Structure 1
């Protein structure tokens, strides 16, 4: 090994890069045949970038992140709904959406999915439309009109031939589905379905009509609407009102590598904690950018890391991160002050005054920055 190569290896080792990054770097060098001088410049820049990225010991990273996200938050609008480039699909944006993200809400107020399709589907409108019908929950009121015959005690469904053809469905399929779901006999007479309730009573008849409206004949429960949009790239993308990630990913033709939802908890359940962490970063960044606010991604990364560090998606609030702080005073300073103090008093808890909040409360220097440095006088000999 040449002296220069040895120096380069030592410089790389100093930066403490992960082994996979070093392997990729070496592979790139072999493929591109970089000169030793160029390689030294690369390592030098890497070293410089790494040093610039490091924060000083004792830096109040948490406080800086809180300020960096909180201040732009005051400039965000309160507008809740917005057509996200797609007609008919409402999406919560602005401050309400940011609150939803940091609260790790189990169900967002406007759940939606962006479904990307595989190559043989994404450029064919008919195939994309066919997939949309597979995903969108189809109810009877879309396929025909319901009427009641009180004299005969029967429910009549007049099917729309055009709607059936469009959704690739038959009268028999619908009749079988209704029989399976409601357990009533369903007779096909031309384009009309005739249903009889279990008992010949007016109450049963009304109950049957009510139940009919909730039967899903095709598609996925929870997906209220699917809109197809042709993107600038020329491919068709499906936007849904409602989110059921697991079932949608199982459908043939859906590109599972790019399909996403705005429901972080659903991503966590289907894909795991790492995907949920990335989803939190993406959702918060997109929400701020949509409002024209530019926040350094590292502040958002810190928040999402804290929310997911225990392998679960926790809210930043008294039911999550803030409620689990070791310090009694820090918990009391956030919300429900009296309850925290009473409970801690009964248990005989001890506060070690390690954090920022508790030290501010008792009026002593915080353990950050200059407050993190202690001078000890050496004994004179």
Structure 2
């Protein structure tokens, strides 16, 4: 039997927190003891029984409600301009540990000085949203002189808080580094806000039109991977929603609250913030996806799956390229996918199967080593 908990056994801070929690009413020692004992009783009832098949229960608890989920891919998720993958496709993405989700998106929170001022929030969004050179002025092709002429609009630059000199410096550099295109020369006049681009082969119209496409589409402000940013006011503060994700670069933008900003790209979270953050992201994303469909799943089932996916220090999928494909048991691997290949490889490598798991024992027709099957009775010889 569990020993009874007394108020004297607990730290003073714990008692103060509990008393504050109970609506500020005075709590006697007897009431306090009764509350604490009830908490420990509830905790004891929620513990798993020894030899319980926790993996199978977790798979069943997630898989069965998953059959009721809709297949809709796009949902407005509170922001009319941003599409987000939800439902079963999103749950599959999470479990498959996709490197990039089908609709990457970020929810960017701002610091106190920025989240109550719409103009400052808009300034931050311009530092994040990828803006092409064509949005800062007119890009025209001069066939007579074989050049691309860019006339920058100074009013747009002033509105978006970027100088003409910055655009003149970034545009040619980004075409070379990001677009990997170097067959051109350029001249610029900051006073007139004009940039001239010339193809190195002055007689090739094809090179001229190719250069025109690179000049028009080169990103001179913002983060390349983030196509669009929407500013919305929720709960008294301005929040940025993005189409596209780049956690590392967004964290470097002034005004971004790095402690609350999040992305739906789990692989990116794991790479930037570490495997523990990746594990928490799997739990949070899976739970929010299920809740959005009105499905309640105990968090401990999701936690068990997340622990399995992250236990080797990297996010692995639940599949033949991840957890299922790396099991010690030959029969367990063969039962999942590509049966013949696994059996052939095991035969060539002279592998053995010690029959400790569930799948392999079911295949050979003997009790699994869980529940009552975990107990072995040995007859005591009679002298």
The two structures have a TM-score, normalised by structure 1, of: 0.89
What SS does the aligned partner of 2:230 have?
strand
Match of 2:303 in 1: 301
The whole-number CA distance in structure 1 between the counterparts of 2:305 and 2:216 is 44
Range with bigger deviation, 28-37 or 216-225: 28-37
- Matched residues, number: 367
What SS does the aligned partner of 1:129 have?
helix
Match of 2:108 in 1: 115
Higher helix proportion (structure 1 or 2)? 1
The whole-number CA distance in structure 1 between the counterparts of 2:286 and 2:294 is 13
Match of 2:47 in 1: 54
Is the CA contact 1:226–1:240 (under 8 Å) kept in the aligned structure 2? yes
C-alpha spacing 1:209/1:110, structure 2 compared with 1 (3 Å): same
Cα displacement (A) at 1:215 = 2.2
The whole-number CA distance in structure 2 between the counterparts of 1:321 and 1:181 is 41
Q: Residue 117 of structure 2 is aligned with which of 124, 128, 140?
A: 124
The whole-number CA distance in structure 2 between the counterparts of 1:170 and 1:298 is 52
Q: Residue 263 of structure 1 is aligned with which of 262, 265, 270?
A: 265
What SS does the aligned partner of 1:252 have?
coil
Q: 1:85-234 to 2 correspondence within 5 Å? A: 85-182=78-175, 184-187=186-189, 190=192, 192-201=194-203, 202-231=205-234, 233-234=235-236
Cα displacement (A) at 1:370 = 2.1
1:125-176: CA deviations, max 9, x gaps? 1000000000111111222232111111221224345533331233333222
C-alpha spacing 1:23/1:138, structure 2 compared with 1 (3 Å): farther
The whole-number CA distance in structure 1 between the counterparts of 2:164 and 2:281 is 42
Is the CA contact 2:139–2:148 (under 8 Å) kept in the aligned structure 1? yes
| Root-mean-square deviation (Å) | 2.5
Match of 1:66 in 2: 59
Cα displacement (A) at 1:222 = 0.6
Match of 1:15 in 2: none
The whole-number CA distance in structure 2 between the counterparts of 1:330 and 1:134 is 51
The whole-number CA distance in structure 1 between the counterparts of 2:378 and 2:80 is 68
Task: Point out where structure 1 has 5 or more consecutive residues left out of the alignment.
Answer: 1-5, 13-21
Range with bigger deviation, 145-154 or 333-342: 145-154
C-alpha spacing 1:256/1:189, structure 2 compared with 1 (3 Å): closer
Q: Residue 358 of structure 2 is aligned with which of 332, 339, 356?
A: 356
Q: Residue 81 of structure 1 is aligned with which of 36, 52, 74?
A: 74
Cα displacement (A) at 1:188 = 5.1
Q: Does 1:25 align with 2:28?
A: no
Is the CA contact 1:184–1:198 (under 8 Å) kept in the aligned structure 2? no
Q: Does 1:340 align with 2:329?
A: no
Match of 1:249 in 2: 251
What SS does the aligned partner of 1:213 have?
helix
1:63-107: CA deviations, max 9, x gaps? 111011111111111111222211221211111111110111111
What SS does the aligned partner of 1:120 have?
coil
The two structures have a TM-score, normalised by structure 2, of: 0.88
Range with bigger deviation, 45-54 or 111-120: 45-54
Cα displacement (A) at 1:281 = 0.4
